[in-house]
Structure 1
Amino acid sequence: MFLSELLEDYKESDEQRAILQAFVDRVWKSKCSSKKYERYYSFQICSASLDNREDLIQLFTSYNRISYTVFKSYYTQKIEPVDQIRIHLNNVYAFLCDPEVYYPKEYYSLLLTPKREYFKTVSQIKNGEKVEAPPIQAAIAQALEQAMNIRKQSIENKANLSWSEYKKIINSYIERIFSNYIPVEDYEKKHGWELRAPVDWWSEDHYAIKYMCTCITGYMRNYVRDRKPKAVKEKLCSLCKESFFYKSSKRLYCDSCKKQKQLLWQKNSMKKSRKK
Structure 2
Amino acid sequence: MNIWVNILNSRKVILIYNCDEMYLYEIIEDYKDASSQEEKEEIFRAFCSSIWSCDNKRRTYTKCIRFKIRKDLLNTELGQIFNTWSLIEYKYYKATTKDENWRSIIRQKINNIYTRYFDKEIVLGKEYLHLITTPKRLYYEWISGSELDAQGVTSIIDNAIDDSLKVKRRLQSEKMSLSWEDYKKVMEGFLHTAFHNCKLIESYEDKSVVSSMFDFLTEDHFYVRYINHSLDGLMRNYQRKYYGVRQHRPLKRCRSCRCIIENDSKNRQYCKSCKKEIRKRINRNYYIKTVLKS
Which of the two has higher C-alpha Rg? Answer: 1
Q: Which runs of 5+ in 1 are unaligned?
A: 236-244, 248-276
* Equivalent residue letter for 2:129: Y
- The C-alpha deviation readout for 1:38-64, integer Å capped at 9, x for no partner, is 1111111125246x42x3233112210
Contact 2:64 2:90 in 1 (8 A): yes
Structure 1 CA distance for aligned equivalents of residues 208 and 264 of structure 2: 44
Instruction: Give the structure 1 partner of residue 242 of structure 2.
Output: 227
Instruction: Give the structure 2 partner of residue 16 of structure 1.
Output: 40
TM value normalised by structure 2: 0.70
Instruction: Give the structure 2 partner of residue 204 of structure 1.
Output: 219
- The C-alpha deviation readout for 1:173-204, integer Å capped at 9, x for no partner, is 11111111111122344983436999xx8111
Contact 2:123 2:172 in 1 (8 A): no
Contact 2:81 2:150 in 1 (8 A): yes
Instruction: Give the structure 1 partner of residue 92 of structure 2.
Output: 70
Structure 2 CA distance for aligned equivalents of residues 24 and 233 of structure 1: 37
How many positions carry a matched residue from both structures? 229
Instruction: Give the structure 2 partner of residue 44 of structure 1.
Output: 68
Instruction: Give the structure 2 partner of residue 175 of structure 1.
Output: 192
Identity of aligned residues (%): 30
CA pair 225-146 structure 1, distance change in 2 beyond 3 A: farther
Q: Secondary structure at 2:144's aligned position in 1?
A: helix
Structure 1 CA distance for aligned equivalents of residues 233 and 210 of structure 2: 22
Q: Secondary structure at 2:204's aligned position in 1?
A: helix
Task: State the superposition RMSD in angstroms.
Answer: 2.9
Shift of 1:66: 0.2
Structure 2 CA distance for aligned equivalents of residues 168 and 118 of structure 1: 48
Q: Secondary structure at 1:39's aligned position in 2?
A: strand
Larger RCO: 1 or 2 (CA < 8 Å, sep 6+):
1
* Equivalent residue letter for 1:46: R
Instruction: Give the structure 1 partner of residue 80 of structure 2.
Output: 58
Instruction: Give the structure 2 partner of residue 218 of structure 1.
Output: 233
CA pair 111-188 structure 1, distance change in 2 beyond 3 A: farther
Structure 1 CA distance for aligned equivalents of residues 82 and 177 of structure 2: 36
Structure 1 CA distance for aligned equivalents of residues 125 and 183 of structure 2: 22
Q: Secondary structure at 1:70's aligned position in 2?
A: strand
Structure 2 CA distance for aligned equivalents of residues 86 and 141 of structure 1: 40
* Equivalent residue letter for 1:4: Y
TM value normalised by structure 1: 0.74
Structure 2 CA distance for aligned equivalents of residues 156 and 108 of structure 1: 17
